[in-house]
Amino acid sequence: MNWLIFTLAAYLAYALDTGTRMLLQYPAGHGVAPSFLLILAVYIGMLAPPRTVIWAFLVLGVLTDLVSPYATDGHTILGPAALGYLVGAYAILQLRGLVFRESVLALCVLSFAVGLFIHLTMLALLKLRGLAILTGEPMALAADDALVQAFLHLLYTAVTAAPVGYLLLRTTTIWSFPGKIRMDRYH
């Protein structure tokens, strides 16, 4: 994979996540917004070799932590999204063999499915961190509200993955992913 292209795409996805969060929220002002970092991660996860997928997901997870609305005392918590993205990397490496890798529909479905793994891991880690037994002060994170928000966030991201995925799939040649698997080996 061309890491310069990855860096530019990650920067663009990060800028879109931070810059258009208020503009794309539904309902306006207090709703959910799509995650361009998740869409980029799933695109890379569909086409890159396993080691590259793990490192790319880790970097995108740290960027997601920087965008994440979870904070205590005004400080950003680094870690939950990064670890969630590592779980997501494992999930996509298991799931990508079940779909046609160069399909926009597959990108949409995998964005939702991998996002479920990521968000469940993030919420579990944040809930564990917020236990009063460990920290002395409970963190205000209602699990049911957070799960509903995550589900709506993933639906919105999956819908947004269609046009973004179309553009990403058109740029596959500049990413320099390794060659295609020859199917005649398996017959």
pLDDT in tens, 22-70: 788 777 666 788 999 999 999 999 999 999 999 999 999 999 988 876 6
Domain carrying residue 150: 3-177
pLDDT, residue 55, reads: 96
Q: How many domains is the chain built from?
A: 1
DSSP calls for the chain: --HHHHHHHHHHHHHHHHHSHHHH-BSTTTSB---HHHHHHHHHHHHS-HHHHHHHHHHHHHHHHHH-S-EETTEE--SHHHHHHHHHHHHHHHHGGGS-TT-HHHHHHHHHHHHHHHHHHHHHHHHHHT-HHHHSS-----HHHHHHHHHHHHHHHHHHHHHHHHHHHHTHHHHTPPPPPPGGGG-
pLDDT of 83-115, one tens digit each? 999 999 999 999 998 988 889 999 999 999 999
Mean pLDDT estimate for the chain:
84
Residue 126 included in any domain: yes
Q: Is the pLDDT of residue 185 over 50?
A: no
pLDDT, residue 68, reads: 74
- The enclosing domain of 46 has a CATH number of 1.10.1760
pLDDT, residue 130, reads: 67
Residue 123 pLDDT class (50, 70, 90 cuts): confident
Q: What percent of the chain has pLDDT over 70?
A: 81
pLDDT, residue 187, reads: 39
